[in-house]
Amino acid sequence: MAWIRRLKRARHRELRSRVFPLEWRNILEQNIPLYTRLPDALKQQLHGYITLFIAEKNFEGLRGIEITDEIKVTIAGQACMLLLNRDTEVYPRLYSILVYPDAYRTKQSSIFPSGADAEDAEDRLGESWTTGSVVLSWDHVKHGVKDWKDGHNLVIHEFAHQLDQEDGTSDGAPILEQPSHYIPWARVLSTEYEALRSKTDRGGKSVLDQYGSTNPAEFFAVATEAFFEKPKQMKKKHPELYGELKNYYSVDPGEWG
């Protein structure tokens, strides 16, 4: 209903206008190197998004880990960098962030053509679910921000999946601003995805992590990691892909700092 939407927008404006705690700013400066290079206007945007994210999303510690402000702000700070300069809600389909102290084991069932099934266990660092949850290993969250230029960032990867999944599917095509934008997006990303698959098969090296050759959804998440962590290399090696991500995210990390 219209009045509910108005109340929600008013609450969001109030949350985003609150004074950002100095303790949270210190956490960002200590844990997220890229934060210190952001222009002041983007820092202010980020503060508002973080405040809203922490107020509305539920953090749950698993296997004995205690949820602290450091955990909340470090995760929210990276996740909300994907929202800067964009007219968007703060991950509207996301309700909870489940945090393990380190890698966790999951069971996965496989069904064979014969009808037989098998259950395998595997270690994971993170997951993004269309049902409204993101799962993260805190140890690997910290590792991902320690070296901001290596192109690997667990939080950015999983929250890129959240953006991709906002239309209910995980296919490497997030909701774009205009319908006409899907044509160049599909052309560029499919071409780059196939090129990475080919290079991976040949054992070649790329600015993009080879895991991006798994499927289009993983390609989008891996490309997002490189866009924020290795912008200059990506812009040089993959200018069209960089341009599409720049248009989508409405920022140019290559110009920061």
Grade residue 4 by pLDDT with cuts at 50, 70 and 90: low
At 67, is the secondary structure helix, strand, or coil?
coil
Q: Is residue 99 part of a domain?
A: no
pLDDT band of residue 257 (cuts 50, 70, 90) is confident
Give the DSSP per-residue string, 192-216.
HHHHHHHHHHHT---SS-GGGGS-H
Q: What is the predicted pLDDT for the residue at 117?
A: 47
For β-strands 126-129 and 133-137, DSSP reports them as antiparallel
Phi, then psi, of 135 in degrees rounded to 5: -115, 135
Please tell me the least confidently modeled range out of 95-109, 118-132, 190-204.
118-132
Instruction: Over range 149-157, report the average pLDDT.
Output: 90
User: For the stretch 196-224, what's the b/e string if a residue is b when 16 or more beta carbons lie within 10 angstroms of its beta carbon?
Assistant: bbeebeeeeebbbbbbbbeebbbbbbbbb
Residue 83's nearest CA partner among 59, 132, 47 is: 47
Domain count for the chain: 1
Report the DSSP beta bridge partners of residue 137: 100
Question: Does residue 58 fall inside a structural domain?
Answer: no
With a CB cutoff of 8 Å and minimum separation 6, the contacts of 152 are 144, 209, 225, 229
Better-scored residue on pLDDT, 205 or 162:
162
pLDDT of residue 87: 85
> From the centroid of its chain, how far is CA 185?
18
Please tell me whether the overall predicted TM-score, pTM, comes out greater than 0.75 for this model: yes
Kindly state the tokens that stand for 211: 């895991």
Closest CA to 142 of 176, 170, 100: 100
- For the segment 153-174, the average pLDDT, to the nearest whole number, is 96
Average pLDDT over residues 145-164: 90
The pLDDT confidence band at residue 16, using thresholds 50, 70 and 90, is low
Average pLDDT in the chain: 89
In-domain check, residue 144: no
Q: Cβ atoms within 10 A of the Cβ of 75, count?
A: 28
Which run of H or of E encompasses 229? Answer: helix 216-229
In a domain, 14, yes or no: no
For the cut 70, the answer to whether the pLDDT of residue 121 exceeds it is no
Establish if 102 belongs to a structural domain.
no
Confidence grade of residue 119 (pLDDT, cut at 50, 70, 90): very low
Here the CATH number for the domain that contains residue 193 is: 3.40.390.10
Residue 207 is assigned to a structural domain of this protein: yes
Q: Tell me the C-alpha to C-alpha distance, in Å, between residue 82 and each of 67, 95, 132, 204, 231.
A: 23, 17, 17, 29, 14
Do 50 and 90 meet the contact criterion of CB atoms below 8 Å apart? no
Q: How far apart are the first and last CA of the chain?
A: 44
Token duo for residue 141: 């969250």
Q: Does residue 203 surpass a pLDDT of 90?
A: no
**Residue range(s) defining the domain that contains residue 195:** 171-257
Q: What SS3 state is found at 221? A: helix
Q: Is residue 241 part of a domain?
A: yes
Give residue 114's pLDDT.
53
Q: What is the pLDDT of residue 65?
A: 96
Residue 10 has pLDDT above 90, yes or no: no
**Is residue 204 a part of any domain in this protein?**
yes
SS3 at position 156: helix
Q: Kindly indicate the confidence band of residue 111, based on its pLDDT and cuts at 50, 70 and 90.
A: very low
| Residues 183 and 194 sit within 8 Å (Cβ to Cβ) | no
